[in-house]
Amino acid sequence: MARKLLVVGAHSADFVWRAAGTIAVTTANGGDALVVALSYGERGESGELWKQEGQTVENVKRIRHEQAEQAAAAVGARFVCLDLGDYPLEVDAAAMERLVRLFRDEAPDVVLTHTAVDPFNPDHPVAHDVVMRARLLSSGAGVASAFERIDPPAVYLFEPHQPELCGFQPNTFVDITPVFERKVAAMAAMGAQSYLKEYYTELAGRRGNHARRISGKQHVRQAEAHQRVLPLVVESL
């Protein structure tokens, strides 16, 4: 069970669909979770909001922030947005430094982020790359006595919208059955993308079915799938 979880998404709602249940499991068991959005998704993820007459970028960002904070609260997490802009998401040296500082301040046990490939979204692979780089920079200073560093956290990739086209290989399933209503509440908070709620509700059920078949644990009804990137280090099998 992760004591400290850091979830980094390209856009402010990414964590809701892909990892809200995992976050809720962590916090329900006494852990701590921080959600970092690199952008609000104001250009590429907010189509419903732009249907409103007289809409502005500033107002879309405000609404997206409020919705993300409400969703994060539903699963017991904190929310921070770096507001770097989207479509395209561009991370300069100053933004990378901010992300590395978050890694060092949080010292997470586990980091969750996007896959390295997504042919349908230009921002998700960017987020993956900067998260992996920030992990290395925060944990690999080299001389612990001279430079601030953290223990390297485990890295998991959460499930993309079309996994078969993103090279996603699920090898870890989190049972979110006990906290599923909290994920439902988080999804309900994201009014700017309410059309995704039904899809990810159904996906949780399908992944629950897979988890039951893999484990034999018949109590699992809903699950989230992730891909662990680095090997486990264990005392025994």
pLDDT at residue 223, rounded to an integer: 98
pLDDT at residue 194, rounded to an integer: 85
| pLDDT, mean of residues 101-105 | 96
Per-residue pLDDT of 121-150, as tens digits, reads 999 999 999 999 999 999 986 555 567 889
**Those residues with Cβ within 8 angstroms of residue 225's Cβ, 6 or more apart along the chain or in another chain:** 159, 163, 170, 172, 173, 207, 210
Average pLDDT across the chain, whole number: 95
State whether the Cα torsion 211-214-215-217 is positive or negative: positive
Per-residue pLDDT of 55-87, as tens digits, reads 999 999 999 999 999 999 999 999 999 999 999
Axis-axis angle for helices 124-139, 93-106 (nearest 10):
60
Least confident of 57-66, 76-85, 92-101, 190-199: 190-199
Q: Which of 199, 195, 193, 218 is nearest to 208 (CA)?
A: 218
